[in-house]
C-alpha cells in the first residue's frame, strides 16, 4: 500500500520526484534525540567544571548505579570486567542514554511535549543522582539541570524543521548550472535538492544539527578540559615526604624470588601496577592545603588535623604491607604489596583518648564512602597506620591521596579507607558502614591464601623440569609453609622467600619434573599460627573466598 506521504508528488515547475517517506523523517527525529542528549551531556560537563566533577550526570548516575546495584550484579561486574568495571559502567550508562535519546526523538516527532518531558525526566534523574550522593554539595544538581535545559532547546530546534509545513522550492533545482555558487549548491544538496515537499526542511535540520553538535563538542570537550583544574596531581608531585622515625626493616639478599623465576609476582608491586578497587568513578581530588582529618564520637579529646600536622609528626613509620581485597577469587590478583609510610594508628588514637567502649571506627572518605574497622585492631595491630606514602611517593590519587588507613590482617573494605577525612569512634551496634549495609561481613579478617602464578592455567610446555611458583599470604600471622601437589601425588613443600615481616606476602617456588601429558597442579598454604588453607570452595561474598588454587597444564 502506498501512503499519501510515500506518494509521488508533482513539484511546481519540475518533474515528479519520489518524496522521502516517514522512514527518513523518523530516522532524523531519532538522530535529533541523540544530538539533544549529546548537547545535554556536553553542557552538563561544562557546568560540572564550575561545580565539581562528581556532579556531572554520567558520573553521578554511574555512582548511583553502583550504590543501588544489587551485590550479585556488582560481584559479576568485578568478576567480568575486573578493574575495567568502571569503564564498563560508564560505557553501559552511555549506551542506555543513547537508546533512550533515540526514543525521545521519535516520540518528540509525533508529540513534541512528550519529547520535551522525556528530556526533562532525563535531567531529573541526573539531578536526583547528583544530590543524593553522600558527599553532595548544594549546587550538585546544577549540571544536570542546565544540561537538560540545553537538551530541550536542542530537541525543539531540531524537531521544528522535521515538522515544517511544505516550503518554497529551493532556488537551485535539478542539475545545478555552473554559475550557481558552490555554497548554494551544497546547501541545496543538504536540503535534499528539490525533493523538499514532504513537510520537512532537511537543510535547516542539518544546519541546526551541525551547530548543536558543535556546541555539544565544545561544551563537553571544554568542560572536560576545565575540569582538570580539580586535578591535584601537580600538588601531589610537589609534596616532599618526611623521613620515617622508624624505617622498614632491611630486606635480606635475594629476598625477591621473582628475579630468578619468570612469571612470578615481584615481591613489591609498583604503584602503577597496584590493583585498584573502589566505588569512585571520579577519583576524589583533595588539595593538600584543604585537607582535614576530623575525629568524632567516642574520643576524650577529638580534634581535627591538617596534612602538615600528620606529615610533621616525629613518630612516622615505614612498613612493608600486603593489601588484599575481599572480592579476590581463588587464584585472583586483587592483592599488592607496597612500602607504606604513615602515622602509627594505635598511638594516634590513644593520643586522642579513644574510649574503651568504642568497638568500631567508622572511617569516612571524601566521596562519602564509609568503612568500618574494629577499634581493637586499629589499636593493637602492629604497623596499622594512617598512610601518607606508598613506595617512596605520596599516595597516588587513585590509592587515596593524601591519607588512607591501613590495618594489616583485615580486608581492604574493612580497614583501608582511601581519601580518609573522618574517623568516628563508635560501636558495631550503632553503625552499619557501606559494605555491611550490603550484607558483607562486619568483621573481616584475612584468610590464608596461596596462588599459582606460573605456569598459567591451560599452558602447555615441554616435558621435564620447570618451576611452579606463586605467592601466599596471611597478614599479621605470616606464612609458615606452602605445599604443592601435582595430580594425585603427595604434598611437597615449596621453597619460600625469606620471612621479612608477617604482614608481607611470601613468594614460593618448587621445581617439578613433568612427565608428558596433562597435569593438575594444586597449592595450599599454612599460616605461622598453624591454619591450613581449607580445600572447601567459598565465593568471596560475604567474608572472602576459600579453596585451593588449581591449574591444569599440558607437558608435551
Ligand X SMILES: Nc1nc2c(c(=O)[nH]1)N[C@H]1C(S)=C(S)[C@@H](COP(=O)(O)O)O[C@H]1N2
Q: Residues interacting with Mo ion, by CB under 5 A?
A: 277, 325-326, 412-413
Q: Of residues 6, 279, 359, 546, which one binds ligand X by CB under 6 A?
A: 279
Q: Which stretch binds ligand X (CB under 6 A): 4-12, 268-276, 520-528, 538-546?
A: 268-276
Q: How far is the CB of 336 from ligand X (least distance, A)?
A: 6
Q: How far is the CB of 81 from ligand X (least distance, A)?
A: 15
CB atoms within 10 A of CB 210: 12
Residue number with CB closer to ligand X (75 or 279) = 279
Site string for ligand X, 384-413 (x = CB under 6 A): ---------------x------------xx
In whole angstroms, give the CA distance from residue 166 to residue 28: 17
Closest CA to 341 of 242, 420, 426, 424: 242
Pick what 514 binds: Mo ion, ligand X, none; C-beta below 5 to 8 Å, kind-dependent: none
Residue number with CB closer to Mo ion (497 or 543) = 543
Residue number with CB closer to Mo ion (261 or 444) = 444
In whole angstroms, give the CA distance from residue 489 to residue 478: 26
- Report which DSSP code applies to 517: E
For the chain, the straight-line distance linking the first and the last C-alpha, in angstroms and rounded, comes to 68
Q: Is 74 in the site for ligand X (CB under 6 A)?
A: no
Taking each helix axis as running N to C, give the angle between helix 202-227 and helix 182-190, from 0 to 180 degrees, rounded to the nearest 10.
Answer: 90
- Residues 305-344 binding ligand X (CB under 6 A) are 323, 325
Residue number with CB closer to Mo ion (184 or 273) = 273
Pick what 548 binds: ligand X, Mo ion, none; C-beta below 5 to 8 Å, kind-dependent: none
Q: Is 275 in the site for ligand X (CB under 6 A)?
A: yes
- Report which DSSP code applies to 445: B
Q: Of residues 276, 333, 443, 539, which one binds ligand X by CB under 6 A?
A: 276
Number of amino acids touching ligand X (CB under 6 A): 19
- Residues 410-449 binding ligand X (CB under 6 A) are 412-413, 416-419
Q: How far is the CB of 361 from Mo ion (least distance, A)?
A: 17
Pick what 278 binds: Mo ion, ligand X, none; C-beta below 5 to 8 Å, kind-dependent: ligand X
Pick what 279 binds: Mo ion, ligand X, none; C-beta below 5 to 8 Å, kind-dependent: ligand X
Strands 292-297 and 420-426: parallel
Pick what 299 binds: Mo ion, ligand X, none; C-beta below 5 to 8 Å, kind-dependent: none
Q: Report the sign of the C-alpha dihedral through residues 499, 500, 502, 507, in that order.
A: negative
Yes or no: say if 402 and 288 are a contact pair by the CB < 8 Å rule.
yes
β-pair partners for 246:
317
Q: In what order do the strands lie in the sheet with 495-496?
A: 449-454, 464-473, 506-514, 495-496
Closest CA to 419 of 317, 313, 290: 290
Pick what 417 binds: Mo ion, ligand X, none; C-beta below 5 to 8 Å, kind-dependent: ligand X
Yes or no: say if 424 and 364 are a contact pair by the CB < 8 Å rule.
yes
Q: How far is the CB of 359 from Mo ion (least distance, A)?
A: 22
369 dihedral zone (left: phi>0; alpha: psi -120 to 50; beta): beta
Strands 335-344 and 360-365: unpaired
Q: How far is the CB of 83 from Mo ion (least distance, A)?
A: 12
In whole angstroms, give the CA distance from residue 415 to residue 437: 16
Q: Is 29 in the site for ligand X (CB under 6 A)?
A: no
Q: What is the H or E stretch that residue 270 is in? A: none
Site string for ligand X, 367-386 (x = CB under 6 A): x-x-x---------------
Residue number with CB closer to ligand X (20 or 412) = 412
Yes or no: say if 386 and 260 are a contact pair by the CB < 8 Å rule.
no
Closest CA to 361 of 294, 287, 286: 294
Pick what 209 binds: Mo ion, ligand X, none; C-beta below 5 to 8 Å, kind-dependent: none
Under the rule (CB under 6 A), what is the footprint of ligand X?
A: 274-279, 323, 325, 365, 367, 369, 371, 399, 412-413, 416-419
Amino acid at each position: 500500500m502506498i501512503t499519501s506521504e510515500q506518494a509521488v508528488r508533482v513539484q511546481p515547475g519540475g518533474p515528479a520526484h519520489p518524496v522521502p517517506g516517514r522512514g527518513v523523517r523518523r530516522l532524523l527525529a531519532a538522530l535529533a534525540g541523540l544530538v539533544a542528549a549529546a548537547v545535554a551531556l556536553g553542557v552538563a560537563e561544562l557546568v560540572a567544571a564550575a561545580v565539581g566533577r562528581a556532579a556531572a550526570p554520567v558520573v553521578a548516575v554511574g555512582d548511583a548505579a553502583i550504590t543501588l546495584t544489587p551485590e550479585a550484579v556488582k560481584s559479576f561486574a568485578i568478576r567480568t570486567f575486573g578493574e575495567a568495571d568502571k569503564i564498563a559502567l560508564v560505557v553501559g550508562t552511555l549506551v542506555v542514554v543513547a537508546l533512550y535519546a533515540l526514543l525521545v526523538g521519535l516520540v518528540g516527532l509525533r508529540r513534541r511535549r512528550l519529547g520535551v518531558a522525556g528530556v526533562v525526566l532525563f535531567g531529573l534523574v541526573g539531578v536526583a543522582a547528583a544530590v543524593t550522593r553522600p558527599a553532595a554539595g548544594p549546587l550538585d544538581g546544577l549540571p544536570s539541570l542546565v544540561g537538560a535545559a540545553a537538551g530541550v532547546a536542542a530537541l525543539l530546534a531540531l524537531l521544528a524543521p522535521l515538522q515544517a509545513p511544505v516550503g518554497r522550492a529551493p532556488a537551485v533545482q535539478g542539475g545545478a548550472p555552473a554559475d550557481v555558487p558552490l555554497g548554494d549548491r551544497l546547501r541545496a544538496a543538504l536540503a535534499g535538492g528539490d525533493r523538499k515537499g514532504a513537510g520537512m526542511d532537511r537543510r535547516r535540520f542539518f544546519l541546526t544539527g551541525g551547530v548543536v553538535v558543535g556546541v555539544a563538542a565544545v561544551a563537553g570537550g571544554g568542560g572536560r578540559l576545565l575540569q582538570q583544574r580539580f586535578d591535584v596531581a601537580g600538588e601531589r608531585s610537589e609534596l616532599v615526604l618526611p623521613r620515617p622515625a622508624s624505617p622498614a626493616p632491611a630486606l635480606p639478599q635475594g629476598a625477591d624470588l621473582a628475579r630468578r623465576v619468570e612469571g612470578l609476582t615481584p615481591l613489591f608491586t609498583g604503584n602503577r601496577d597496584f590493583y585498584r578497587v573502589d566505588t569512585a568513578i571520579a577519583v576524589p581530588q583533595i588539595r593538600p592545603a584543604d585537607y582535614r582529618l576530623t575525629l568524632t564520637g567516642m574520643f576524650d579529646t577529638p580534634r581535627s588535623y591538617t596534612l602538615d600536622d600528620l606529615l610533621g609528626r616525629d613518630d612516622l613509620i615505614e612498613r612493608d604491607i600486603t593489601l588484599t581485597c575481599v572480592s579476590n577469587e581463588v587464584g585472583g590478583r586483587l592483592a599488592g604489596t607496597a612500602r607504606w609510610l604513615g602515622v602509627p594508628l594505635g598511638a594516634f588514637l590513644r593520643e586522642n583518648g579513644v574510649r574503651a567502649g568504642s568497638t568500631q571506627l567508622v572511617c569516612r572518605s571524601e566521596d562519602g564512602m564509609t568503612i568500618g574497622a574494629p577499634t581493637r585492631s586499629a589499636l593493637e595491630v602492629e604497623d596499622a597506620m594512617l598512610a601518607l606514602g606508598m613506595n617512596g611517593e605520596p599516595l597516588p590519587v587513585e590509592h587515596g591521596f593524601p591519607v588512607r588507613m591501613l590495618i594489616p590482617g583485615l580486608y581492604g573494605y574493612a580497614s583501608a579507607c582511601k581519601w580518609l577525612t573522618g574517623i568516628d569512634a563508635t560501636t558495631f551496634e550503632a553503625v552499619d558502614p557501606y559494605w555491611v549495609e550490603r550484607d558483607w561481613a562486619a568483621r573481616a579478617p584475612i584468610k590464608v591464601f596461596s596462588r599459582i602464578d606460573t605456569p598459567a592455567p591451560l599452558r602447555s610446555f615441554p616435558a621435564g623440569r620447570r618451576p611452579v611458583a606463586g605467592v601466599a599470604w596471611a597478614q599479621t600471622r605470616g606464612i609458615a609453609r606452602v605445599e604443592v601437589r601435582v595430580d594425585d601425588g603427595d604434598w611437597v613443600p615449596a621453597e619460600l622467600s625469606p620471612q621479612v615481616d608477617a604482614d608481607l606476602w611470601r613468594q614460593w617456588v618448587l621445581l617439578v619434573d613433568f612427565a608428558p601429558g596433562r597435569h593438575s597442579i594444586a597449592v595450599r598454604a599454612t599460616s605461622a599460627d598453624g591454619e591450613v588453607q581449607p580445600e572447601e570452595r567459598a565465593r568471596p561474598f560475604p567474608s572472602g573466598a576459600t579453596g585451593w588454587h588449581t591449574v591444569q597444564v599440558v607437558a608435551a
